[in-house]
Structure 1
């Protein structure tokens, strides 16, 4: 077996075209002048300190706040994960409730465990063609604003769809003027021009998280957290970040964030990519179902970020994994993610129009190959039933919440056969992946409908489930 370093080199030598994170796509232009390993340093004289910045780090963070439109910005060296967790800890002065989108990143669950807050989950809308959670239709009753400590939203979704949150802000300003709105804008770090939707800071969010490595040029694990207004205690936020982040921060990560701020303002590359993506839709969109502007205004989708290209292959009868094999083998194209019927391609600041045109060529060739295979073999390569099963589970009512995530995490547990878990309080969170939306969260009660679906769903498709073959962890009774 090769070592990790050897595997990395072997992968690098295959020279795949990157349509996945990180956003720099391995282009050296973003890192000229950064020297590794000589500059793999931490806090030394003249280099400032991340948790009490007064010098160069303070200057770089203030520059980030200026560019992104925040009152204050914080560099994150433990990824957007630490940012999501810190957002919840900044609310934890009073035990209470928080509204949370059900399709939130798994670091949000960790934030709930750390903070002890009680979630009120909001279900996403499942798109009937893509079978994915792509939108929300929010209806927050006025009295609920007086019961919650905060509201956590994801903008955009992993797949590049955005819901209309402006009415939420308007409702907050009338009925809950002191309630902070927290936004995980991890996949929207590049929202700085008219080519893209507005940043959540523009429509009134209090805390906004950017995973700067996903679409901008920062190194993997580098992110930013932006704050504005007076609803969030700055001292509590700083304490939360110091609690969660390394005491030996990587200066290469922070230097890459500083550079990412400057590269983010160069919009010409995005203009050229936009033109190439329009050509992709015009060409490949004739033979494949691609999420596009016509999907706006339905299923809770207000806008679509064109830099995420979501292709559904079931429209032609092709199982997506086979399509991915074709693209990787014949075009050296590496997507971000795929399930049984969808393939997601992510653009970043490091992509070029030529690479997008190569993707267009690959998608058209994939369809031609598949049509030829059907004619010659007289068979179809249909997706399996996994996606239908996911839709069944996602369409069920949310299980009753019996314990907060923190209470469930800390409670004594035992492992029992899945078939015996009806009515038990579950001690782990179970999410089919992709897309990663939990069917049941720790602290919720197993229902008859959900148990039936779990018993019939492939056991290799889950995140969070410790060991499906051995059973399920539940809270001990008594």
Structure 2
């Protein structure tokens, strides 16, 4: 076995309790009759074709549309990324402007590169206690009639939902023909009364589900749902054919089909919600946990209880210190953490015992830290979230195609940035290519320590790609 295989085996042997993607949590029951070797097939007679389905794939997609409430559903085997990209490539209209939530996933920014649209950004509302972009002010004034579409994220990576119903009502009043596109990557489980309403139920035109994140589909599989006639189905199919593999994995397709069926088993979630409520009552006074009490504040309209977002500042210790304790002593593996927040993601494959284990771990953590004399952690990097959007000089596509050069990061003030820089997870950009480097962005990048980055090629050497001056600086 090679290094990669050994690494996977070693990790599995450690027996961590998963509070991260994928949603199936490695439970065999979701794949009990899926022959992984035998079903690893290509487009053979009787097996249909993903890009022109008329048989078993077409029927599976039709069934998924019925389950999730869409007019039509497309299976994605290149992840949710191609869903966001296809949304933009499918757009038509006389204007090349789109309204985009600034705290969107980086795949939305890549969609702007591919499509050439110029984004008019909606600024997120930063929650002062979590220091995260959790809400959105949808009353922000925009020229709704002058854009081709509006793209928003619902819910956020952290489980906070915007007032999508209000946004769709504004569309009906101000621009009834404008498509509303929704990245519901982290809300594919929004079915039934246990969760907030789905974007499809509220009336969005195109809705992306990263079905592997909280449901039982295999990693890299997703769905793109469509309803209504504001977006051309023909253009959408052409966009997906352009973006997706010509050799789709039938294992991913089969897992998508059954993920929809398992999603209907709402009773799986009921005992999990009960345990999450017990978690809040047990440790909620010692941690700052995002909860239903936050609805109606800082642009938050709903909260998904299956995302347990914990801020560690009340304990006086860093999130990384807490994670180290939880992993070592209780075998708990969270989805992500930053300097002061930890996100635990509950999926359809979790069990009540998993959440009881999490509650026990958090209880021991709180008791240990509150009785110690090491509570000296304070918010050192309050500017980690860029609150003022940098000036947009070039569109992302213009910047991508422009001539670039690398310079030291410290010397980049005032230049047009030539790469999109995102901490990952969650993949929300600090700066998007085509924007001008500002003092706030520069200070934020200079202050960051170790981490996982996407798009920043010169992180180790502290260099950055900038646009050559003749490409728009004059």
Q: TM over 0.5: same fold? A: yes
Partner of 2:321: 322
Partner of 2:237: 238
Q: Judging changes above 3 Å, is the alpha-carbon distance between structure 1 residues 270 and 35 closer, same or farther for their aligned structure 2 residues? A: same
Unaligned segments of structure 2, at least 5 residues? none
The reply to whether residue 389 of structure 1 matches residue 383 of structure 2 is yes
**Cα shift readout 1:91-136 (whole Å, capped 9, x = no counterpart):** 1565510011111111111111000000111111111111111000
Conservation of the 8 A alpha-carbon contact between 2:106 and 2:428: no
Partner of 2:73: 73
Q: Partners in 2 of 1:60 and 1:2 — Cα distance? A: 36
Secondary structure of 1:201's counterpart equals helix
Secondary structure of 2:310's counterpart equals strand
Secondary structure of 2:202's counterpart equals coil
Conservation of the 8 A alpha-carbon contact between 2:105 and 2:429: no
Which residue of the other structure, out of 412, 416, 434, is the alignment partner of 1:421? 412
Q: How does 1:6-405 map to 2 (within 5 A)?
A: 6-92=6-92, 94=94, 96-141=96-141, 144-372=143-371, 374=372, 378-380=373-375, 382=377, 385-386=380-381, 388-391=382-385, 394-395=386-387, 397-405=388-396
Conservation of the 8 A alpha-carbon contact between 1:288 and 1:315: yes
The TM-score with structure 2 as length reference comes to 0.95
Secondary structure of 2:200's counterpart equals coil
Q: Partners in 1 of 2:378 and 2:17 — Cα distance? A: 25
Superposition deviation, residue 318 in structure 1: 1.4
Conservation of the 8 A alpha-carbon contact between 2:313 and 2:379: no
Conservation of the 8 A alpha-carbon contact between 1:95 and 1:116: no
Conservation of the 8 A alpha-carbon contact between 2:95 and 2:146: no
Conservation of the 8 A alpha-carbon contact between 1:390 and 1:432: no
Secondary structure of 1:414's counterpart equals strand
The TM-score with structure 1 as length reference comes to 0.95
Q: Judging changes above 3 Å, is the alpha-carbon distance between structure 1 residues 432 and 8 closer, same or farther for their aligned structure 2 residues? A: closer
What is the alpha-carbon root mean square deviation over aligned residues? 1.7
Conservation of the 8 A alpha-carbon contact between 2:106 and 2:429: no
Conservation of the 8 A alpha-carbon contact between 1:213 and 1:222: yes
Q: Partners in 2 of 1:448 and 1:26 — Cα distance? A: 45
Superposition deviation, residue 457 in structure 1: 3.9
Superposition deviation, residue 459 in structure 1: 6.6
Conservation of the 8 A alpha-carbon contact between 2:77 and 2:222: yes
Q: Partners in 2 of 1:467 and 1:51 — Cα distance? A: 38
